[in-house]
Structure 1
Amino acid sequence: MRFVSATFSALSLLSLALASKVVDLDSKNFENIIGGSKPALVEFFAPWCGHCKNLAPTYEQLADAFPSDKVVIAKTDADGVGKELGNRFGVTGFPTLKWFPAGSLEPQDYSGGRDLDSLASFVSRESGVKSNIKPPPPPAAVELDYSNFNDIALNDSKDVLVAFTAPWCGHCKNLKPAYESVARAFASEPSVVVAQMNADDEANRPIASQYGVQSFPTIKFFPKGGKEPVAYSSGRTEEQFIEFLNENCGTYRTAGGSLSAKAGKVLTLDKLASNFFTADLPSRSDIVAETKKSLAELGSSVSTSASYYLKAMERIMDKGESWLTKEQARIAGLLQSPALAPTKIDELKIKANILSSFAEKKVEEIADAASDIAGEKMEDVKAFISMMEAQGAKATDRIKEEL
């Protein structure tokens, strides 16, 4: 079994080697490949070098990113078969990368980053050949710099969370996935901005210094209304960021960006809605009038969506209680559509939340009825509830068929 496993591993490594587009060079084939009609990037490496081993997978990707008939991506063991080449080109450390223009054996040193994007950008710039690497999607977090910081972070009408970062910072790189998720979750909130700034950029350092940034990442919250920024000291998971923003911005987002069950609900109107659904017809007219009065008194302190409480009451008065169940089923169906715009999803979710307020007291009455019928026998209570749930499910299925 060990022999089979070892053989499989060896074959896997061999297949990878055969599939490699990185050209192996030595003193015998060097001038047959380099200095011809194609430009070349050459890595001078040593098999024992840890940095060389770390670069190897990225270098393979780089070779795959360019057509081999236009650009050469090559390497030579400068501590082995390519030692003469290493001495010839003054290689004193590993890995050393050198760029050979087409038709030339006089290289220029490569001193850029060793990530795929940096390497590919260099090769494209020097050769004029585009790579097949797809550009990363634009960041969800708003990019701040010295030119737009005051306009965005100090905007009186917006709550702004700013991550002061540095490109080389490992903690910043670890933060990025969760922070980007938070930015996407709040993309539909017009008064909330999730932003980040390269605070190690020379042009941005004065701003970072102004706000006491001494390490990376430093995260600060800039409240609307021109209030002083506060340091963010909570956890760095998506959920923890969202919890902080909801508490400080009055929002109701959840991980992933959807609205919570509390979004759009108003306690005063919730009570009126619950009372409305269990009231008799004459009393319902009084509750409608009271709802209109409450909406007028609340005014701008609640969103325009609060008027849906009144609209729902009027529809139930006009079309009967069956309208509520049908409307809930219709909205639930629409929310399953993948083509809805985020703003439309928010609108429907708020309507669904408001409609749930109408049945809350009805549910309480059913529970009370179950308790009265069954007395102290919990088994009977459970049986009664199960029966009511089954009847509710049948009614919902029937409504869906009618729709």
Structure 2
Amino acid sequence: MKFGISFSLFAFAALVGASNVIDLDTKNFEEYVGGDRPALVEFYAPWCGHCKNLAPVYEQLADAFPSDKVVIAKTDADGVGRDLGSKYDVKGFPTLKWFPKGSLTPEDYSSGRDLEALAGFVSEKSGVKSKIKPPPPPVAVQLDASNFDDIALNDDKNVLVAFTAPWCGHCKNMKPAYEKVAKAFLSESDCVVAQMDADAAPNKPVAAKYDVRSFPTIKFFPKGSKEPIAYSTGRSEQQFIDFLNEHCGTHRSITGVLSETAGKVLTLDTLASNFFTASLPERPDVLGKAREYLATLTGADKKTNTSAQYYVKAMERVIEKGEGWLTKEQARIAGLLASPSLAPTKLDELKIKANILSSFAAQKASEAAEAAEDIYEQVVDAAKQVPQQAKDGVDQFADAVQDKAQKIKEEL
């Protein structure tokens, strides 16, 4: 019974530990390489740190391709495969070489060592599809030598460009945050988040033109300018967001939703506060001032004009229908904003309206807060007086008792 259990455990361990990577040496090399299947061969050394890092990825690569169509193999070029390493001019570890079907003349592999890059190379060379589910398409706009000038140098757009390389570890670490930022700015047509493989041969002249010497190098191309600004801030999502909001004049949050400042016009904010606290007869005068300011914005951008018009519209509705309109409109917009199916443009429009309507109650809320502060201070002062008043009462009672006791004593 014990033997049966031990044998089962051994078989299970062997099954779990099975590898689809073929181990090669000088005796079996041509059994697998140069025959009826193409082969990718890793020349490694057991002591090599980079080889150890590659090992789990290489195992996944072997699992991703049918072994009857593609050979994924390795050889210890510092041990049993030392002669193979010499024969194929291996000078460092790991070295990967691609052997086409029916050939013992290899092609050096010089791309990335991540699973995506390796699988893409094998599929391209062999024509065999891998079992790896392809990653979603990038959100950041992809630039190359053919479209760089049309996008990055567009006079109507602000463009942030990350010059990267597929093999760059720092680029890979930055990618998730950069993609989230690109997604957050999808609704901003004039603020583009882009990326370029600056190590690809056709793109190297563009990278050289903009003095890209390391990866990632990030540069911001302002609207209407051909000269970029070097991005030297951190690589977190929030740092990218803050930079773009400052340089593009946008108001995006990490989630892509507009912030509380979006759509606000300072002068009209002040008028909105004054309008809400003004008496009913005074409100038309404030509305008149808002209309006068709106007339001065003829040269402003479309977004500012649209926001300014809504300030005026809100004042007109309150005069026409009373303050109840403001409360109902805020509730209506809040309900719509909670809908998960809103289109991004509609979401932006409603968020801006919500921000503007909040300006009307800002002054009143401020006054209420000041009044509450005054009441609080009065209560605190009164509370501080209570202990003293209680002490004075006790002292008066004690004095009275003492006087009474003295009189009784005198009478006796």
Same fold (TM over 0.5): yes
Give CA deviations for 1:140-194 in whole Å, capped at 9, x if unaligned.
3323333223222222222222333444444444443333333222221122122
Give CA deviations for 1:231-279 in whole Å, capped at 9, x if unaligned.
3333333322322222222221222322211110111111222222233
2: distance between equivalents of 1:89 and 1:324? Answer: 83
2: distance between equivalents of 1:331 and 1:89? Answer: 73
2: distance between equivalents of 1:299 and 1:48? Answer: 71
Amino acid at match of 2:349: E
Range that drifts further, 57-66 or 251-260: 251-260
Structure of higher CA gyration radius:
2
Query: What is the match of residue 109 of structure 2?
Result: 111
SS in 2 for 1:20: coil
Does the Cα contact within 8 Å between 1:44 and 1:91 map onto a contact in 2?
no
Query: What is the match of residue 339 of structure 1?
Result: 341
Query: What is the match of residue 311 of structure 2?
Result: 309
Does the Cα contact within 8 Å between 2:24 and 2:81 map onto a contact in 1?
no
Does the Cα contact within 8 Å between 1:264 and 1:303 map onto a contact in 2?
no
The alpha-carbon distance between structure 1 residues 20 and 144, as it changes in their structure 2 partners (threshold 3 A), is same
Give matches, 1:24-39, under 5 Å: 24=23, 39=38
1: distance between equivalents of 2:220 and 2:85? Answer: 55
Unmatched tracts of structure 1, length 5 or more = 1-9, 382-403
TM-score calculated relative to the size of structure 1: 0.76
Aligned residues: 369
Amino acid at match of 1:351: K
1:350, distance to aligned residue in structure 2 (A)? 0.8
The alpha-carbon distance between structure 1 residues 119 and 107, as it changes in their structure 2 partners (threshold 3 A), is farther
Query: What is the match of residue 297 of structure 1?
Result: 296
Does the Cα contact within 8 Å between 2:99 and 2:107 map onto a contact in 1?
no
2: distance between equivalents of 1:177 and 1:261? Answer: 26
1:127, distance to aligned residue in structure 2 (A)? 3.3
Does the Cα contact within 8 Å between 1:58 and 1:115 map onto a contact in 2?
yes
Query: What is the match of residue 366 of structure 2?
Result: 364
Give matches, 1:74-153, under 5 Å: 74-77=73-76, 83=81, 86=84, 95=94, 97=96, 104=102, 106=104, 108-113=106-111, 114-153=113-152
Query: What is the match of residue 268 of structure 2?
Result: 269
Does the Cα contact within 8 Å between 2:43 and 2:90 map onto a contact in 1?
no
SS in 1 for 2:137: coil
Please provide the CA RMSD for this pair.
3.6
The alpha-carbon distance between structure 1 residues 149 and 285, as it changes in their structure 2 partners (threshold 3 A), is same
1: distance between equivalents of 2:283 and 2:324? Answer: 16
1:325, distance to aligned residue in structure 2 (A)? 2.5
Does the Cα contact within 8 Å between 2:22 and 2:71 map onto a contact in 1?
yes
Query: What is the match of residue 223 of structure 1?
Result: 222
2: distance between equivalents of 1:337 and 1:50? Answer: 51
1:324, distance to aligned residue in structure 2 (A)? 2.3
The alpha-carbon distance between structure 1 residues 87 and 243, as it changes in their structure 2 partners (threshold 3 A), is closer
The alpha-carbon distance between structure 1 residues 380 and 149, as it changes in their structure 2 partners (threshold 3 A), is farther
Does the Cα contact within 8 Å between 2:41 and 2:96 map onto a contact in 1?
yes
Amino acid at match of 2:121: F
1:50, distance to aligned residue in structure 2 (A)? 3.1
Identity, in percent, stands at 66
Query: What is the match of residue 4 of structure 2?
Result: none
Does the Cα contact within 8 Å between 2:98 and 2:109 map onto a contact in 1?
no
Query: What is the match of residue 188 of structure 1?
Result: 187
Range that drifts further, 237-246 or 31-40: 31-40
2: distance between equivalents of 1:87 and 1:215? Answer: 31
Give CA deviations for 1:185-239 in whole Å, capped at 9, x if unaligned.
2221122122233444444444444444444443333222336433333333332
TM-score calculated relative to the size of structure 2: 0.75
Unmatched tracts of structure 2, length 5 or more = 1-8, 384-412
Query: What is the match of residue 5 of structure 1?
Result: none
Does the Cα contact within 8 Å between 2:220 and 2:229 map onto a contact in 1?
yes
Does the Cα contact within 8 Å between 1:98 and 1:109 map onto a contact in 2?
yes
2: distance between equivalents of 1:183 and 1:280? Answer: 47
Query: What is the match of residue 255 of structure 1?
Result: 254
1:89, distance to aligned residue in structure 2 (A)? 7.0
Amino acid at match of 2:239: Q
